[in-house]
Chain A
Amino acid sequence: MAKIDDRKTKIQATKLRKVFKERRHEVVAVEDLDIDIKEGEFSVIVGPSGCGKSTFLYMIAGFEKITDGELLLDGEPVLKPGRNRGFVFQEFALYPWKTVKGNIRMPLEIGGGISEEKIDAKVQEYINLVGLEGFENAYPHTLSGGMKQRVGLARALVYDPDILLLDEPFGSLDAQTRKIMQQELTRIWQEVTSHGEKKTVVFITHSVIEAVYLADRVFVMSARPGHIKAIIDVPIPRPRSYTGDEFIQIRQEVLNHLEEEVLKAAELYKGELSAE
């Protein structure tokens, strides 16, 4: 594996800014955000609640328009959502009227140009990949949270996007399931490649342990208006454990950067409450 700094830039933001216009005032969600995410990198962004990390992810996805600055994927500005990206939502955002198979088929049906048999084969491949054999015809409401997110992952990967965006995907799962899903995501990320390269992953969380367990690099975001405050390399080989000196040391480093911002965010929040 090449060192991260030598690799090609996949996602690049320069002086990125996002302002939400509310009825009476403006909220600056993201300001002066510079980031350089490399091809095939597993990047995790941590930050205090409301720091604009999800907003940043929505801008990469093309769901939200940028207000100012520059946001490039493969050197091209992001104009709208598209199939070079896959997105996994915290609330799963599965279609309740489609079965597991139906949800995972949908991107392939929309893409068109492939035969039914090829679609079926591909869907089965990804159902197996995420470990949902036997649940093909189940409706999402009969599944547990962890299984729903497996469907979410398969749906985001099945059309082979280069970039996988995950917005606190395990945030609503219980601690035990969460750990399983972290291991599963690591396994899947290592198994699935496009053009021989691993997927470029941007993963949002506010769990520091999760960040250090998953990431090649952890990006710490500041309190609102959000920008990148610190970048921490995680050179621990995979498969990782949640213990070990190196893990704990890196976790502490991330925590130190984050703590300050969490306090700032709390101040900001208090200020807003008293202003109202």
Chain B
Amino acid sequence: MKKDSNIENTVEPSKEVIKDTSANGNGSRLLDGLNSAPKYFLNVGKTLLPFLVIFIFFEVLLVILHATIPDLSHNLYPIPHNIIVYTWKAFFPGKDSAANSVFIQVGWSFVRVLLGFVIGTLSGLIIGILMGLSKWLHRLLNPIFSLAISIPTLAWVPILLIIFGLNTKTIIVTIVLSCFFPIVYSTTNGIRSIDRKLIWAARIMGASNLEIFFDVLLPGSLVSVITGLRLAIGYSWRAIVGAEMLVALTDNIGIGYYIVGGQIANQIPQVIIGIFLIALGGLLLDATLMRPLELVTIRRWGMIEKSKQ
């Protein structure tokens, strides 16, 4: 059957019609950004502008302050450009300096975060998947986890200090806890909120429970799981600063210790550098771990909106 000439308002199902309705076809969204490099730099400029404004504001303010009040401490009221000089020294202290480079401080924190993140995430995924699959387990555990997720991780630290003592173990277990709860929560919800029709569609093809788990439930819960991973990274990066500050006195290493060190030495520039590094570290973790993961999965699949630049 092709076409009936006496059909009045009938449209021939031609390929043109089909192609018209899908203007953006199957082109890769990954490539969208590449043909707009100048726009990219413009956007970077727009992002950096507020920081430049703040920098200049405080530069002018502090230069005036130091000019009017001659014996104002440069350690407590640093002029911004001096912080930049200080940053250089912090990163490259030179051979004769006893201090560790900030690279090492931050590096150690990264290692701890990653270790705690891996342990916390894996255990969280396992519990989350079990709770997502079993109504019974969900009913049993959900009230507990709903309560636990609202507890700031640092509130656990005193208990951990009693159990593990003032050492790296306490720091890592803190990270594990800060990842575990959001991952459990997001994985459970991710699995439970999958459209039942996606499961039905697999059932009628004769899919087994195992096939449904791997082909439908796991990829279907990824949007929620990735949100959980993002939260987990954010929480753990926050928690490590707190945990290292508390354990700092015996441990002597890590970004939290570096900040506390600045406080002890009355060096506000050191504290400010520490704060900036925390922010950069969080961004870096997100950009190197979460963004690529999102790009090759849920963004590519159109499961979340493309973010506006």
Instruction: Give A residues with C-beta under 8 Å from B.
Output: 61-63, 80-83, 85-87, 89, 91, 93, 95-97, 106-107, 110-111, 131-132, 135, 137-144, 146-147, 155, 159, 176-177, 179-180, 183-184, 186-187, 190, 238-243
B25 at the interface (CB under 8 A from A): yes
Q: Chain A interface: which of B41-49, B193-201, B245-253?
A: B193-201
Complex contact A95–B13 (CB within 8 A): no
- 17 residue pairs from A and B, CB less than 8 Å apart: A63-B200, A81-B200, A82-B204, A85-B204, A86-B204, A87-B204, A96-B302, A106-B215, A107-B206, A110-B211, A111-B206, A142-B302, A144-B18, A147-B22, A187-B1, A241-B8, A242-B8
Partner of A106 from the list B15, B205, B297 (CB cut-off 8 Å) is: B205
Partner of A110 from the list B9, B27, B200, B202 (CB cut-off 8 Å) is: B202
Tell me the residues in window 151-208 of chain B with beta carbons closer than 8 Å to chain A beta carbons.
195, 197-198, 200-207
Instruction: List, in ascending order, chain B residues with CB within 8 A of A240's CB.
Output: 4
Instruction: List, in ascending order, chain B residues with CB within 8 A of A238's CB.
Output: 1
Q: A142-B22, A179-B11, A183-B13 are in contact. Are A81 and B6 (CB under 8 A)?
A: no
Instruction: List, in ascending order, chain A residues with CB within 8 A of B206's CB.
Output: 81-83, 107, 110-111
- Whole-angstrom CA separation of A85 from B297 in the bound complex: 31
B288 at the interface (CB under 8 A from A): no
Complex contact A141–B204 (CB within 8 A): no
Partner of B7 from the list A83, A97, A177, A241 (CB cut-off 8 Å) is: A241
Complex contact B15–A131 (CB within 8 A): yes
Partner of B200 from the list A93, A140, A159, A180 (CB cut-off 8 Å) is: A93
Complex contact B204–A241 (CB within 8 A): no
Q: A62-B204, A82-B206, A97-B297 are in contact. Are A179 and B21 (CB under 8 A)?
A: no
Complex contact B18–A241 (CB within 8 A): no
Q: A137-B26, A180-B17 are in contact. Are A97 and B219 (CB under 8 A)?
A: yes
Instruction: List, in ascending order, chain B residues with CB within 8 A of A83's CB.
Output: 204-206
- Whole-angstrom CA separation of A143 from B23 in the bound complex: 9
Tell me the residues in window 276-309 of chain B with beta carbons closer than 8 Å to chain A beta carbons.
297, 300-303
Complex contact B205–A243 (CB within 8 A): no
Instruction: Give B residues with C-beta under 8 Å from A.
Output: 1, 4, 6-11, 13, 15, 17-18, 21-22, 24-27, 195, 197-198, 200-207, 211, 215-216, 219-220, 222, 297, 300-303
Q: A180-B17, A241-B4 known; 11 other A-B pairs, CB under 8 Å?
A: A86-B204, A91-B195, A93-B201, A96-B301, A96-B303, A97-B222, A106-B205, A142-B27, A144-B18, A159-B205, A179-B9
Tell me the number of A-to-B contacts counted with CB atoms below 8 Å: 126
**Chain A interface secondary structure, helix, strand, loop or mixed?**
loop
Complex contact B197–A142 (CB within 8 A): no
- Whole-angstrom CA separation of A159 from B206 in the bound complex: 10
Complex contact B18–A147 (CB within 8 A): yes
> Most chain-B CB neighbours within 10 Å: which of A131, A142, A238?
A142
Which residue of chain A lies nearest to B196 when distances are taken between CB atoms in the complex?
Answer: A63
Q: A93-B201, A95-B198, A239-B4 are in contact. Are A142 and B11 (CB under 8 A)?
A: no
Q: A110-B202, A141-B302 are in contact. Are A93 and B25 (CB under 8 A)?
A: no
Which residue of chain A lies nearest to B22 when distances are taken between CB atoms in the complex?
Answer: A144
Q: A141-B302, A239-B1 are in contact. Are A183 and B200 (CB under 8 A)?
A: no
* A157 CB → nearest B CB, Å: 12
Complex contact A241–B10 (CB within 8 A): yes
- Whole-angstrom CA separation of A180 from B16 in the bound complex: 13
Instruction: List, in ascending order, chain A residues with CB within 8 A of B7's CB.
Output: 239, 241-243
Complex contact B24–A243 (CB within 8 A): no
